[in-house]
Amino acid sequence: MTTFALTDAERGLFGVHADRAGLRLRPTGWMQLGTGAQMAVAGAFLLLLHKLGSGRSLLVGVAAAFVVGVWGVLLYAGTVFARPDGLRVWWLGFRRIPWDRVVRFDVETRAPLWASGWPPFEVVTMTLRDGSAVTLWPARSADMPVAGATSAAAVQCGLLARYRATLPA
């Protein structure tokens, strides 16, 4: 299989990569939240270092590096790999979903339970033949359409549907 060609809108999204093996979609919404959380953690540890003084700064510095490092690993949780044999969703473990079980992709708007007052996220969900739905976290986006442009979640939803349509039946 040759490399899957991305459109300009798809190429402009953070975390969307095409290669010979297929597509890789990293979490856009998680990246936004992760950046904010890393800044908050760094600020909190800076205040803690100032309060504790220089005697304990090494221990606190190591703890800060560990916390920020673990959060960095969590940023990649939720990655979706689209391959000719199906989808692999990495979210606290791998879930393999063959293409013959996938019925369609849709964009839904959801308000996060953990952040009341935040704008709702657009999430790509995948409906399976058994009627169940799987949420694909990487397509999670708080980006609202501007001047008629499509949102990041809608672009990723279209990308997955277009990739599936190019696979041999």
Q: What is the pLDDT of residue 40?
A: 74
Please check whether residues 64 and 109 belong to one and the same domain.
Answer: no
Chain mean pLDDT for the chain: 77
Q: Say if 120 falls within a structural domain.
A: yes
Task: Answer whether residue 104 shows pLDDT above 90.
Answer: yes
pLDDT tens-place string over residues 46-75: 677 667 666 666 666 667 767 776 766 666
How many structural domains are present in the chain?
2
Please check whether residues 81 and 69 belong to one and the same domain.
Answer: no
Q: What band does 93 get if pLDDT is binned at 50, 70 and 90?
A: confident
Q: What is the pLDDT of residue 152?
A: 80
Q: Say if 162 falls within a structural domain.
A: yes
Residue 126's CB is within 10 A of a number of other CB atoms, namely: 23
Q: Give pTM, 2 decimals.
A: 0.71
CA distance 2 to 81: 16
Q: What is the pLDDT of residue 97?
A: 94
